[in-house]
């Protein structure tokens, strides 16, 4: 979602106010939507009232000044907008009466095993009545504040397709009268697969934003890790919950070295390893060791997130990229493909295979994915790199051009452009 979420055409945001609205959106959107959903029990009301509050901020803050507590101002405004909508729709009865607790200063009563509003919103959107992709997309929209275009890129589908998917999901929640409440403790595992997918996609969108002017969205990576920690506290014995948290920590540890001072993406093999966050690495490694001990003691075999975290530890456990144990990484990806044979996982395995068996073998594997991944920029970037290593400069240039055209992240485009321009001829 844009910085000024909900701002209508024609609104003018002053240069001194726009950063404040952008910051408020980063910090307050998820909290605002989740709080409204809990109070009103209606996702449409929550999202639209939040968007209207940001539109009001764009109109009023330039003249009135940014309030001392932007989050409180937005919450109060959104509440009024929601109540106005309910009155207009003549939905006074139960909803209108329930909404009055917004003005009650007494602490809310317990809502079950999940006490955090934002995590509760994730579990609500991940109701089993919805298809898995719809659960993920809806939560990314409401919690992550991502635009439909950004979510569509994450799923490798057209924007119109994703818009219809989100609309149908919200309509199904309303038609089925799915309540905004935490599931029972014995239902949490039923929704956990979708919840983990949501948290990971929020993290990925933050770690390398698919669109917009920011290379990295720290608010999204931080929010995903925060949710991961809450899930870990809720389900400390679940291997995939632990694996996902470890994966995010180990990946986020590399963020300080991820983008150069000139705004260009720095790939793993070129990163300054001394800039990595050692505290996050230590925490992530401790979680992986815990899971290794559980599996060795007869616990469940590792799932997809645990395997991805293990792959990350292989990269982190060597002093330089040239020391990487690619054979182990290929073996781990082989296990991951058996669990998740998606084209993107197979693409990542093919890149690792190229490091063990040579670029020609890797390219052959990648080319088998052309039909599934033609619209995915990383597919063409991987092809371009292997074609370059094979000395096929003209083909590499064409692949780089395709990757640059598809990439939405400015840092990634800068990196790909430099690599293309370095080609001979």
Query: Could you read off the pLDDT of 371-405 as tens digits, one per residue?
Result: 999 999 999 999 999 999 999 999 999 999 999 99
| Annotated domain spans of the chain | 1-109, 325-425
According to the model, what pLDDT value does residue 80 have? 92
Query: Could you read off the pLDDT of 93-126 as tens digits, one per residue?
Result: 555 555 544 444 434 444 455 567 888 888 878 8
Check pLDDT > 80 for residue 278. yes
More confident residue, 127 or 66: 66
More confident residue, 425 or 231: 231
Residue 130 to residue 122: CA distance in whole angstroms: 13
Query: Where does the pLDDT of residue 10 fall: very low under 50, low under 70, confident under 90, or very high at 90 and above?
Result: very low
Judged on CB neighbours under 10 Å (0-12, 13-18, 19+), 279 is exposed
CA-based nearest residue to 311, from 278, 334, 294: 334
Check pLDDT > 50 for residue 406. yes
According to the model, what pLDDT value does residue 326 have? 97
Average pLDDT over residues 40-60: 89
Mean pLDDT taken over the chain: 85
According to the model, what pLDDT value does residue 275 have? 96
Q: Which CATH number fits domain 325-425: 3.30.930.10, 1.25.40.10, 1.10.1330.10, 3.20.10.10?
A: 1.25.40.10
Map tokens 């400015």 to a residue: 410
According to the model, what pLDDT value does residue 109 have? 40
Query: Residue 307's CB: how many other CB atoms inside 10 A?
Result: 23
Check pLDDT > 60 for residue 15. no
Helices (H) and strands (E) in the chain, counts: 20, 0
Structure tokens at 308: 């991805």
More confident residue, 42 or 16: 42
Q: What are phi and psi of 147, to 5 degrees?
A: -75, 160
Query: Where does the pLDDT of residue 41 fall: very low under 50, low under 70, confident under 90, or very high at 90 and above?
Result: confident
More confident residue, 110 or 276: 276
Of the listed ranges 82-91, 107-116, 137-146, the one predicted with least confidence: 107-116
What DSSP assignment string belongs to 161-187? HHHHHHHHHHHHHHHTT--SSPPPGGG
According to the model, what pLDDT value does residue 108 have? 42
Of the listed ranges 50-64, 118-132, 229-243, the one predicted with least confidence: 118-132
Query: Could you read off the pLDDT of 288-339 as tens digits, one per residue?
Result: 999 999 988 888 899 999 999 999 999 999 999 999 999 999 999 999 999 9
CB 156 within 8 A of CB 373: yes
Query: Could you read off the pLDDT of 336-376 as tens digits, one per residue?
Result: 999 999 999 999 999 999 999 999 999 999 999 999 999 99
Check pLDDT > 80 for residue 185. no
- Check residue 100 and report its DSSP letter: G
Check pLDDT > 70 for residue 71. yes
More confident residue, 12 or 207: 207
Percent of all residues in the chain with a pLDDT value above 70, rounded to a whole number? 88
Check pLDDT > 80 for residue 4. no
What does pTM read for this prediction? 0.79
What's the CA angle centered on 347, arms 345 and 348, to 5 degrees?
A: 65
Check pLDDT > 80 for residue 69. yes
């Amino acid at each position: 979602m844009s910085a000024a979420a909900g701002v209508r055409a024609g609104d003018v945001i002053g240069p001194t106010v726009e950063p404040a609205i952008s910051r408020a959106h980063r910090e307050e959107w998820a909290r605002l939507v989740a709080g409204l959903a809990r109070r009103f029990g209606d996702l449409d009301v929550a999202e639209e009232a939040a968007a209207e509050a940001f539109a009001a901020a764009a109109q009023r803050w330039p003249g009135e000044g940014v309030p001392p507590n932007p989050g409180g101002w937005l919450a109060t405004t959104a509440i009024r907008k929601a109540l106005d909508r309910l009155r207009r729709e003549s939905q006074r009865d139960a909803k209108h009466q329930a909404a009055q607790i917004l003005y009650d200063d007494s602490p809310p009563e317990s809502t079950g095993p999940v006490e955090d509003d934002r995590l509760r919103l994730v579990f609500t959107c991940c109701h089993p009545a919805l298809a898995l992709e719809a659960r993920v997309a809806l939560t990314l929209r409401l919690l992550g504040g991502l635009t439909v275009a950004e979510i569509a890129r994450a799923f490798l589908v057209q924007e119109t397709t994703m818009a219809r998917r989100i609309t149908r999901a919200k309509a199904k929640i309303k038609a089925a009268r799915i309540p905004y409440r935490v599931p029972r403790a014995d239902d949490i595992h039923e929704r956990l697969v979708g919840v983990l997918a949501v948290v990971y996609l929020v993290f990925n969108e933050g770690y390398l934003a698919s669109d917009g002017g920011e290379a990295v969205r720290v608010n999204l990576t931080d929010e995903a890790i925060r949710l991961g920690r809450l899930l870990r506290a809720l389900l400390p014995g679940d291997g995939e919950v632990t694996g996902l948290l470890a994966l995010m920590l180990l990946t986020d540890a590399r963020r300080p070295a991820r983008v150069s001072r000139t705004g260009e993406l720095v790939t793993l093999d070129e990163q300054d390893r001394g800039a990595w966050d050692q505290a996050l690495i230590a925490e992530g490694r401790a979680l992986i060791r815990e899971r290794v001990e559980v599996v060795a003691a007869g616990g469940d075999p590792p799932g997809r997130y645990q395997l991805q975290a293990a792959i990350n530890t292989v990269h982190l456990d060597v002093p330089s990229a040239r020391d990487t144990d690619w054979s182990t990484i290929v073996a781990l990806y082989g296990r991951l493909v058996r669990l998740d044979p998606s084209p993107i996982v197979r693409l990542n395995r093919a890149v690792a295979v190229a490091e063990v068996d040579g670029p020609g073998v890797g390219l052959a594997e990648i080319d088998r994915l052309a039909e599934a991944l033609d619209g995915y920029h990383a597919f063409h970037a991987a092809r371009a790199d292997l074609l370059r290593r094979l000395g096929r400069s003209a083909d590499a240039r064409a692949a780089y051009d395709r990757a640059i055209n598809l990439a939405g992240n400015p840092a990634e485009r800068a990196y790909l452009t430099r690599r293309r321009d370095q080609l001979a001829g």
